[in-house]
Amino acid sequence: MVSSNADFGARIVASAEALVPDLVELRRSIHAELGLHLPATQRRVIEALSGLDLEITEGRSLSSVTAVLRGGRPGPTVLLRADMDALPITEATDVPYRSENGAMHACGHDLHVAGLVGAARLLSMHRSDLTGTVILMFQPGEEGHGGARLMIDEGVLDAAGSRPVAAYAIHVGNAPRGIFLTRPGAVTASSTHLTIALLGRGGHGSRPHETLDPVPVAAEIVLALQTYTARRFDAFDPVVISVTNVTAGTGVDNVIAERVTMTGTVRTVDPNTLSRIEHELPRLVEGIAAAHGLKSTVALDTGYPSVVNDDTVTRRAMETLRGTFGPRVVEVPRPTMGAEDFSFISQQVPTTMVLLGAATSDDAAPNHSPDAAFDDSVLGDQAAALALLAIDALAAARA
């Protein structure tokens, strides 16, 4: 295996380190744009890929970029993916390149873009040695918009003329800098949107006995959901239910609201557990509401399924990365409860998703925080790892 050769891996890392200054500049220049339409980011990506002899296609319904790199000899296809969108969070960091438009790259997608550009440059350096093709997938709309599914609909998996035999993504996080974390099997949770509406009877704040006040009932339901997850599910079958928004009233302090709406998220790993929640949770809410004379509705809308790492592909990926990065490659015992739309790729192609630690300090803020910051010196490792995974997967497929 060419990519398991320590000398070859060291050369790839050395080449990647030489790219780091340019990749850091690229990362810090990427505009924080939201959702599916990222025109400035798309232009920046295309500029960064110029001169690499790639077959580049822009998305029709979203600002995606698909670049196909064909090796020196025909062979199988692999896919490398980076998401590009930011989050609607006002940045609180004090870095000189912080976003000032009310959106920020609080999940590190700017590093993902730069890392994949670096991998494209490394693979281009070794094009003549590649037997096969690499699809470079630059994807908008990961943060709740299902951009991966839209890119699949537009043909990203068939962009090279044959389906990928493997697909890889590396996601940065606030783990210790330079640590690669992954596992075979489920690596993220599924994400289900929860909406609860309670309808009572409003009235004057001084005469609650004449009303059916939904606010204390909402509070009772929030607490009941926490008891439900703790007492109805095995501790080794992770379930998270978080009510993240409660809306009631008109802002007038002597008016009891007629209606309360609550929204939140349900995270599970086992599909059977999610099916059980879909059956039991509405009954729980309806029972509590009815006990207080209220009407209720419950809606559960599953957005992203779990990312499930292919066992064979992932164990080989871990071996490949350990050949270059040694003990910095760690198998984690359990999945994260975050969700990722790389799951739509994992449903159709054998995949491996890896977390790369990019913490700037021991107490670094988590992803999705306004204080989130990432050490972009990891971009060399990220680019090298993606390139090595692609090279090894092509070698494995033709062996």
Which residues form the catalytic set? 85, 142
Write down the H helix ranges in the chain: 6-29, 39-49, 109-125, 147-153, 214-232, 271-291, 311-325, 343-346, 379-398
103 CB-near residues (< 8 Å, 6+ apart): 32, 33, 34, 86, 87, 88, 89
Nearest 10 degrees: CA dihedral of 298, 302, 303, 309? 150
**Residues in a beta bridge with 194:** 264, 300
Strand order in the sheet with 239-248: 239-248, 259-268, 190-199, 295-304
**Residues in a beta bridge with 255:** 204
d(CA 291, CA 270): 32
d(CA 259, CA 296): 10
Q: Taking every pair of C-alpha atoms in the chain, what is the biggest distance, in angstroms?
A: 81
d(CA 26, CA 20): 10
d(CA 202, CA 204): 7
How many Å from the N-terminal Cα to the C-terminal Cα in the chain?
9
